[in-house]
């Protein structure tokens, strides 16, 4: 389960929508499975089918997360044309057992947002709670 404040949830949706037709990505950080901050990352792939976070930007963000006594809670990215479920590449690139992987699909006009844990290539859907 991951808890996301409504304003951060809406900011995440707005950000990934603004990057269509390409995939967009970012990091959610906080404490105790409650998101406190969003980090909108640059997709260096600039592709509608894949994403890769800028490594220098990732280092800066991870340092900021640590300095603010938070943890990385989720990695989010969009699927412009495919369902909100991890692709084979998503599963193979899931290196963090302790974070949620959030996928936002734009197959329809209404974004479909789902969270997953991916551990040893096994995916489990997780609940997202949007807090006012």
State the first-to-last Cα distance of the chain, in angstroms, to the nearest integer: 16
What architecture is domain 2-131? 3-Layer(aba) Sandwich (3.40)
Q: Report mean pLDDT in 10-residue bins for the chain, 132 residues.
A: 98 98 98 98 96 96 98 98 96 95 95 97 97 92
Cis link prior to 12 (omega < 30° from 0)? no
Task: Name the residue ranges covered by the structural domains of the chain.
Answer: 2-131
Q: What is the pLDDT of residue 109?
A: 84
CB count in 10 Å sphere of residue 85: 15
Span 22-58, pLDDT tens digits? 999 999 999 999 999 999 999 999 999 999 999 999 9
CB 72 within 8 A of CB 33: no
Task: Tell me the pTM.
Answer: 0.96
CB 102 within 8 A of CB 76: yes
């Amino acid at each position: 389960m991951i808890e996301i404040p409504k304003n951060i949830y809406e900011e995440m949706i707005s950000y990934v929508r603004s990057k269509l037709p390409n995939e967009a990505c970012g990091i959610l950080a906080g404490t105790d499975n409650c998101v406190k901050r969003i980090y909108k990352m640059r997709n260096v792939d600039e592709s509608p089918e894949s994403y890769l976070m800028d490594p220098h930007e990732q280092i800066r963000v991870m340092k900021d997360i640590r300095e603010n006594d938070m943890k990385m809670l989720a990695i989010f990215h969009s699927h412009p044309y495919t369902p909100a479920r991890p692709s084979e590449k998503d599963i193979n690139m899931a290196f963090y057992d302790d974070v949620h992987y959030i996928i936002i699909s734009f197959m329809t006009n209404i974004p479909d947002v789902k969270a997953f844990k991916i551990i040893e290539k096994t995916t489990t859907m997780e609940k997202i709670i949007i807090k006012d």
